[in-house]
């Protein structure tokens, strides 16, 4: 009897390990900033270098911070998804134009549309570093008290917005 049970047990254990292990994405490093206050920033706008926006201006509302750049190919796939989301007027999206050239960033927005309420210009990536950005695009969900509630690594898709981001946004809005 043991002769049959033992290989079966080994097989099952191995299957579970492989199932879990192979479905993990090693690139998705969990952010230690979740449930911590969003790092403060004061940055110029992409469209107007003389205007400064700071994180404090967003207090009292739930908002998304989307890190993007003109050189990032995944951002191009993500762009229509963000356009769609912006059209629904559910949650304000702020863009963080990360380590980009001003004219390149502006060109993207004028060509593909602008889903952002405001676009911040982080030319040397210093604010990106504060937020723990290591790959663009990344999207942060920030609540009314200015606390980071979730971080999406990689492109936003209709699926992960519907299943993960928007339910969280709705919940945070009620608080």
Partner 1 sequence: MKRLLLASLLLFPLFSLADEARDLADNPAIERRMINLAEKVRCLVCQSENVASSRSDWSNDVRQIMREKMIAGATDQEIMDLLVERFGKSVLFDPPVDRETMPLWMAPFILLLLGIGILGYQLRKRRSAVVAPTLSAEDEQKAATLLEDESKS
What is the contact surface with partner 1 in residues (CB under 8 A)?
A: 26-27, 29-33, 99, 125, 129-132, 134-135
Least Å from the CB of residue 55 to partner 1 = 16
CA–CA gap between residue 150 and residue 147 (Å, rounded): 9
Cα-based angle 101, 107, 110 (whole degrees, multiple of 5): 145
Q: How far is the CB of 29 from partner 1 (least distance, A)?
A: 5
Q: How far is the CB of 25 from partner 1 (least distance, A)?
A: 11
| Cβ 128 to partner 1 shortest distance, Å | 8
Nearer to partner 1, 71 or 144 (CB): 71
Q: Which is nearer to partner 1, 31 or 114 (CB)?
A: 31
The torsion region of residue 154 among left (phi > 0), alpha (psi -120 to 50) and beta comes to left
Dihedral (Cα; 171, 172, 174, 175), 10-degree rounding: 130
Task: CB nearer to partner 1: give 140 or 169.
Answer: 140
Q: How far apart are CA 22 and CA 161, in angstroms?
A: 23
Radius of gyration of the chain (CA): 20
**Smaller CB distance to partner 1: residue 30 or 60?**
30
């Amino acid at each position: 009897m043991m002769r049959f049970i033992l290989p079966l047990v080994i097989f099952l254990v191995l299957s579970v390990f492989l199932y879990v292990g192979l479905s993990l994405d090693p690139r998705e490093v969990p952010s230690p900033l979740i449930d911590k206050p969003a790092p403060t920033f004061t940055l110029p706008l992409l469209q107007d270098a003389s205007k400064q926006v700071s994180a404090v201006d967003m207090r009292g509302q739930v908002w998304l911070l989307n890190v993007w750049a003109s050189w990032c190919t995944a951002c191009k796939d993500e762009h229509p998804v963000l356009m769609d989301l912006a059209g629904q007027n559910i949650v304000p999206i702020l863009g963080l134009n990360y380590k980009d050239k001003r004219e390149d960033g502006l060109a993207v927005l004028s060509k593909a549309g602008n889903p952002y309420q405001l676009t911040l210009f982080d030319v040397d990536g210093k604010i990106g570093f504060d937020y723990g950005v290591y790959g663009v695009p990344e999207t942060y969900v920030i609540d009314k008290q200015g606390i980071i509630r979730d971080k999406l690594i990689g492109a936003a898709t209709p699926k992960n917005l519907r299943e993960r981001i928007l339910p969280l946004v709705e919940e945070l809005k009620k608080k």
